[in-house]
Each structure stands twice: as C-alpha cells, then as structure tokens.
Amino acid sequence: MVEGLLPGQIRPVATGQQAGPAARRQELPDVSFRQSLDESLRSEGGVKFSAHALKRISSRGIELGNREMSEIEDAVRRAASKGSRDSLLMADEYALVVNIPSRTVITAMDRGAMREGVITNVDSAVFLQGTR
C-alpha cells in the first residue's frame, strides 16, 4: 500500500513526452513584422496598435515611419502626464485615437475621414510635433 511512496522508490510519472533539452525546444511561430514591432514596443513601454487601427492605417494609406512613431510615443507620454484617458493625436495628414492607460492606438483617420468633423469618446487632444 505504501510501496510507491517510500523515498528511493519515487519515480516520475511517464507522460509519453521527452523531458530533456530536445523536448523543451519549440519552433517559433511565424510572425509578421508588425507583430514583432508591436511586441518590441510593448516590452519597451511603447505604443501598440489594435487590429482595428492597423486595418484603418493600411486601408487609408497612412505611413508611420520612425519619426512619426517617436512623435506618437512622445504625445502619449505628454497625454499620460496630464491624466488623459482617451486622446486624439493630431498630425497634418492623419489623426489617431489612443487609449492612454494601455498605450494602444484604437483607430486612425486620414484627412478624408477627418472631414466628417465629429470625433467622439476622447477627453483630450494632442498636436504632434510637426503640427505645432
């Protein structure tokens, strides 16, 4: 009854899987550049993009290079320092709605989409460097 419980008689449970280094090696999943960039930015406390925002950026032809990303990150920091929750970030050619606590871009608009003139559910606006 106590046979399997005595020291020296304890054996690992066989699960059918190897336990050595070969078993621990895993294939890395294929990830897109955007996913890699988002992961890198998250780990550094940078801005991330929702799936909806990425779709809008792509469909509206908005180009965000290193300079623009730096300006966006600076604007998010400034908005956070003022206690903002959902901010409209304004640039010359585009605007972004960003949830400040999560540092996530929620949606993106180009000049055409901004012509509608109504943007809801924001508590602050930040003008990006190039627009001041």
Amino acid identity for residue 42 in this structure: R
Tens digits of residue pLDDT in 22-63: 555 556 566 666 666 556 555 556 899 999 999 999 999 999
Q: What is the pTM of this model?
A: 0.65
In SS3 terms, the chain reads as CCHHHCCCCCCCCCCCCCCCHHHHCCCCCCCCHHHHHHHHHHHCCCCEECHHHHHHHHHCCCCCCHHHHHHHHHHHHHHHHCCCCEEEEECCCEEEEEECCCCEEEEEEEHHHHCCCCCCCCCEEEECHHHC
Per-residue model confidence (pLDDT) at position 20:
59
What average pLDDT does the segment 7-15 reach?
63
Tens digits of residue pLDDT in 54-100: 999 999 999 999 999 999 999 999 999 999 999 999 999 999 999 99
Domain ranges of the chain: 32-131
In whole angstroms, how far apart are CA 5 and each of 13, 15, 77? 13, 19, 58
Is the Cβ–Cβ distance between 126 and 89 less than 8 Å? yes
Amino acid identity for residue 100 in this structure: I
Cα 53 to Cα 89: distance, rounded to the nearest angstrom:
13
